[in-house]
Structure 1
Amino acid sequence: MKTRFCPLCGAKMKRSGKTSAGRTRWRCTSCGASSVRRIDGAAKLLALFLGWLLGRSRQADMPGGGRTFRRKTASFREIWPMPPKVEAPGRVVYLDGIHLGRRAVVLIASDDERALGWHLCRAENSRAWSALMSRVAAPEVAVSDGGDGFARALRGTWPGTRHQRCVFHAFCQVRRYTTRRLRTQAGAELYGLARALLSITTLGEADGWVQALLAWSERWDSFLAETTRGEDGRATLTHEGLVKARRSPVRLVNAGTLFTYLDPGLVRDGPLPSTNNRIEGGANAQLRAMLRDHGGLSIERRLKAIFWWCYMHSPSPLPAAEVLRVMPTDRSIAAIYERPGERERLEGTIPRWGDAIVWSELHHSEPYRMDWD
């Protein structure tokens, strides 16, 4: 048995007989205080539940079988693990969202090793991004795929942070409009330019790429301006897809977010990433694998599974017993919503809880969407 220490003075304790219930009594050798060792069964069950959730075991393989396991761990399915407040600024933070159909998205912020924050919302918008970012200290560089409302949230929440737009997503944006089945010479050249983004490593190469894009735009300007009249007599752009494909990289060049990773003032402390593959191939890939391994979960349980994964990969997760004591549950949130006047107090905690866990959106259907900026 491990050495026990006095909770009052910190000195070593020794065995001192047994209590009337048959438990071993421990007495401090310094101050004389006595206590018994209590085993927290709920904490052990929570560890068992998380071992199943974050692993690849089936419920039937757990001790006691599937039915016993579900009965003993049913209370843990109500817990919403909330993100900590990260006050130590980092150099690079990756931001991305994992979508669960059309009903919800979990926005996630991470560094190279840990999940720093997560936020549940109905769709990506500036309000949701701001709620996530307000809980994390502003980094030097934020890497993202350019989700809706992110640029606005960055200006308002992390005004001193530089933005690096993921170059792979910039390439994919062009590829979406040109497709791989290139039918025009203009499309083939633009596709080649977008693909070249993935191999740029110096400022000189970046400047050359920008000049090549401008030259391409001038060379094919009249071609892209061609219009076609439909049966209703309205004129539309003949090559609308190419026009949209050109608009995307031009906007990024004008915003100055495409080659932040090459800025001399930033790279003197070490190289910077040009993509957010660290979160796409790290956190998001592991989250999707977990959801596949536990197929059949309801939307709410999938959200909680994502929250649990993020929490257990956060900088300093609390011990299981403390988690059970402080984390909100379905019942505690419902009780607040049922009391008049308490709902306003709950919604005041949105930056801390994460959109108040979008309780009203998950449990009440609204006829109109309320997620536009």
Structure 2
Amino acid sequence: MKALVLSGGSGTRLRPFSYSMPKQLIPIAGKPVLEHVLGNIRDLGVTEVGIVVGAWAREIAAAIGDGSRLGLRVTYIPQDRPLGLAHAVRTARGFLGDDDFVMYLGDVMLPDGVADLAERFRAGRPAAQVVVHRVADPRGFGVVELDAGGAVRRLVEKPRRPRSDLALVGVYFFGPAIHEAVTAVAPGRRGELEITDAIQWLVTRGAKVEAVEYGGYWKDTGQADDVLECNRHLLGGLGGRAVVHPTARVVRSLIEGPAIVGANTVIEDCHLGPGVSIGRDCVLRGTRLSDSIVLDGASIEEVRGMHGSIIGRSAVVRPADRDGMRHRLLVGDNTRIEIPVSI
């Protein structure tokens, strides 16, 4: 079995961060989302991985390299434009050959892994096995409808009126029949080659298509609040510990776990945590911060009461007016600022 990881999207829902970095490299619990994905794939016993990349190809390759650091062999597959998941499969045809493969979106988090689902696919060898999860509002997802016997009857991409609450989580297992399907389908109403249409093509022609409900933790990290919620969940696995890199320097500060502090970071006169992930080469002084993520190289000075925040790479947060109560903001596109006001 091979793996196909899709990392070519633009990440519009994660702006402003995705203006300057690929969404797949946003760190959660001290590690980029894409590394969490590749770790799950390695745990399946899969070592041949194709990563579909777009405009951020250079940045993703710089972070992941040839995969050897992660126990993988990575091939980068350029996709000129993100024209749909089925188009990505078409683009990767040369890499995939006729092997079975797992297709994994590069911005979804399933920290409990999918090893049991891979074993089910290997045992049953369906043409396609899709992984689903029940959601309150499935309109933003691909949706799977089952018949009375539990077989896949219909798949619809982002339906306006869903007939099911079973959402595709972004992990698919395919046999070689999918290649004929992705070649046969035409662009859908969004102008993209939808993988749901390709799988529906298989269903219509009587191929064996299964849906498996995922019972573990799942998060699509496409929005900032989802990133923070996932960070909280993963840090919960530390059992209340604070993990501080040996090269970090902590002076006159309290770090309340669960928390992670990266390499070469300086923490002085701060109260951090719980629920914080601090990247490498950061400087925090006189700061109170909780339930937040600080990316590499950021600096925060004399700011108290920060909560639920994501601070971008090399960003600077500091007081502008020490004598008054005025705020000075240099804010980019699609940024959200929440400032407490007195009533």
Q: Considering the TM-score relative to the shorter chain, is it more than 0.5?
A: no
TM-score range, shorter chain: under 0.3
Q: What TM-score, normalized by structure 2, do the two folds share?
A: 0.27
Q: Answer 1 or 2: higher relative contact order, Cα 8 Å, separation at least 6.
A: 1
Q: What TM-score, normalized by structure 1, do the two folds share?
A: 0.26
Larger Rg: 1
More strand by share: 2
